[in-house]
Amino acid sequence: MKKLISVIVPCFNEEEALPHFYREICRVSGEMEQVDFEFLFIDDGSSDGTLAALRKLAEGDRRVRYVSFSRNFGKEAAMYAGFQNCRGDYAAVMDADLQDPPALLPEMLRWIEEEGYDSVATRRVTRKGEPPIRSFFARRFYGLMRHISRTEIVDGARDYRLMTRQFLNALLRLCEVNRFSKGLYGWVGFRTKWLEFENQERVAGTTKWSFWKLLLYSFDGIVAFSVTPLAISSLTGIFFCLVSFLAICFIVIRTLLYGDPVAGWPSLACIVTFIGGIQLLCIGILGQYLSKTYLEVKNRPIYLVKESGGEEDDRDR
């Protein structure tokens, strides 16, 4: 029996890009006769005609299935839903906007089947077409992560990858609410082959990530994969304790030797506000971890499904 590849596609307001994507994935899958395909679209609470388009696709093609969320839960939730609902021996995650070229699939499959890799990941080597300020901050983020996290998080890594069932099952065991896939992929380990490609522009529609959303997402990544900020705030605390101790000794000795002329209150005011600032910063860092812990402890579902559709499984798995 042929192996089955599940192609998982998170879609959020991708009405315009979907037809292009579907055409391309059909072309690529047509060329890969050694495997069967399943296309699992996750509608992440779109407000345009994405769901209607998916219903139509599912009617016309029995390889198409879809899951539609009750609201927008974010791409991470959509990918997790894809992992949970796919049935393939292999699973691939890719964007609906053709920024992750489906044409790489045959090569990815070859690396897994012939070279024995557990997953084949992609990274883009250029950031052509991206706003420079976004590239700048993205680079800083990956540089920072390299220093403060033990999990490998690769610069320019896309979420686009093909993985084996074993790798997928490992990912499914990580059911945290605060999901940061680029880190989760690295955390589970296994052998991963990296393919590189040039950045592609979106075929249609617009990006769903504002600068603000990306910034918050980077905090998610840091909190999920590093406790270094906590260590830094503790070290800062220790440092200031030492400094203040030395300062106290100095002042006591100076007062004993030279008396106590009242002077220097501006410097005192500066020190008080500076220390106050450091304290607030450290409480803020602590708060970040606490808030994520709070969200995990509540243990709310990662997504809620409103509707799903497509052919029922006729394979005996």
CB of 50 to ligand UDP, least distance (A): 8
Report the partner that residue 96 touches, choosing among Mg ion, ligand UDP, none (CB closer than 5 to 8 A by kind).
ligand UDP
**Residue 100 engages Mg ion in binding (rule: CB under 5 A):** no
**Residue 97 engages Mg ion in binding (rule: CB under 5 A):** yes
CB of 290 to ligand UDP, least distance (A): 25
CB of 69 to ligand UDP, least distance (A): 9
CB of 80 to ligand UDP, least distance (A): 11
Residue 117 vs 303, nearer CB to ligand UDP: 303
Interacting span for Mg ion (CB under 5 A) from 87-95, 109-117, 131-139, 237-245: 87-95
CB of 299 to ligand UDP, least distance (A): 22
Report the partner that residue 76 touches, choosing among ligand UDP, Mg ion, none (CB closer than 5 to 8 A by kind).
none
What CA–CA distances, in Å, run from 77 to 161, 201, 316? 17, 24, 28
If binding means CB under 5 A, how many residues of this protein chain bind Mg ion? Answer: 3
Residue 99 vs 122, nearer CB to Mg ion: 99
Interacting span for Mg ion (CB under 5 A) from 65-73, 95-103, 167-175, 180-188: 95-103
Residue 42 vs 223, nearer CB to ligand UDP: 42
Neighbours of 275 (CB within 10 A): 13
Task: Quote the CA–CA distance of 282 and 276 in Å, as a whole number.
Answer: 10
The site for ligand UDP (CB under 6 A) is made up of: 10-12, 14, 44, 72, 74-75, 78, 95-97, 99, 207-209
Residue 205 vs 221, nearer CB to Mg ion: 205
Report the partner that residue 11 touches, choosing among ligand UDP, Mg ion, none (CB closer than 5 to 8 A by kind).
ligand UDP
CB of 133 to Mg ion, least distance (A): 18
Residues that bind Mg ion (CB under 5 A): 95, 97, 99
